[in-house]
Every structure is written in structure tokens, then in C-alpha cells.
Amino acid sequence: MSLSLLIVEDEPEFADYLRRGLTYDGYQVRVAYSAETGLEEVRRSHPDLIIFDVMLPFMDGFTACQCLRKWGYTIPVLMLTARDAIDDRVAGLDSGADDYLAKPFHFDELLARLRALLRRKGYGASVLSFADVELDTRLHTAARRDVTIALSRTEFDLLFLFLSYPEQTLTRDVLIENVWGNVPELNSNVLDIYVSRLRRKLGEPALIHTLYGVGYVLKK
């Protein structure tokens, strides 16, 4: 399952340029054209990384990043700006951004910075773990208490998502979109069936808990 990025950029042509390039590189990409809609999208879809343009209408990228950090989100943030002054870089980092890139830039540099941010946050690690469960994304194996668990591709993707966001509520819509993609005809009961199978394979004590009417959460 590919990692998800959110681009918050008010220039449609530049946003589309970024979207096309990052999609080609294998990311799932969403675009918001204002800070306000970007913050709403973060709460809805929980992206793995956010690219904020600084010069946004009404609320700038610095303020939006400060809001995210105030709400407790630790999602990596890369700031983009046409300004390259030291004061702007300091302001961006002080707002809670993880990195800063001045326009114009080479697309390869953007990709390298994104990879570095994701590695720093652990997304580049081949092994994800929580409690006594481990998932090796390189070998495509799962285990609990060192006992190998046979998972289907869909079960593997579900567990990957849960382990990527431990102790965070994942709504039904987020789980369905990230595991199955945009499939309008998908019956939401399919999600419940696969979560039930995954729980059974993981065994006791149960780690995946139901939040009725909302979704699921991985916790002890």
C-alpha cells in the first residue's frame, strides 16, 4: 500500500504539477486549495505527510502548521515558499514544520526531502510493531509472539494501516479508501469481515477494538 500525501497549494497549475509527479512516483495524493480545507482533509484522511505552501489565502501555511501541532498531530510537514529569507525559514520551523524548500526547486530534490522526512518518522523502516505484533514490509510477513501469521494481501494491508497509526481512531471511510481504494460499489460489511478475520488470526488478547458508528483503533 502506497503512502498518502496531502498537498495544500492555492495555485491550481502548480498543485496539479506536484500531484502528477508524486502520483507517478507511487504516492497516493490529495490536493486542498486552502489551509482551511487542508486541515479538514487531515482530520478526515490522516495523510502520512503534508506539503504546505506558505502563501495561502486567509490562513497561511505557518498558521495551519501551528494548528496541526496544537491539535496533537505529528504528521511530517514540508513547507514550500517562493521566499528564501532566513527569517522565513526560521518562522517555518518554529511553526512546527519539519523541513523547508524554497521555490523554484528540482523535483528530484523534493522527492529526496520527502523520503528523508518519511524515514525520520519511521515510514522507511521495514518492520512495524506494536505490543507483541510485528509486520515486516520487506519480507511481507507478520508474527505475534514470534509465531508467524499467514495473512492475505488485504489482511496485510489492514494490519499495516493499523500499525502505522497505533492508538489512533481510523474511521471506516479511511480504512476502506486506503485498503480498497475508491470502489463505489464496495459493501462496507466487507471491512467488518476482514477486520474479524484479522482479529481471529492475531489471537488474544484482542488489539483491534471497535468504535461503534466510527471505526476501529489498535490499542492494548
Q: What is the pLDDT of residues 17-35, one digit of tens each?
A: 999 999 988 888 999 999 9
* Listed residue (160, 217, 215) closest to 192, CA to CA: 215
Contact 130, 65 (CB under 8 A): no
Q: What is the CATH number of domain 4-120?
A: 3.40.50.2300
Which residues does the chain have with pLDDT short of 50? 1
Q: What is the pLDDT of residues 30-49, one digit of tens each?
A: 999 999 999 999 988 888 89
Identify the pLDDT of residue 204. 93
Q: Where are the domains of the chain?
A: 4-120, 127-218
Q: What are the strands of the beta sheet with 208-211, ordered from one edge?
A: 170-171, 215-218, 208-211
Q: What is the CATH number of domain 127-218?
A: 1.10.10.10
Identify the pLDDT of residue 70. 85
CA torsion angle 72 162 139 6 (round to 10)? -50
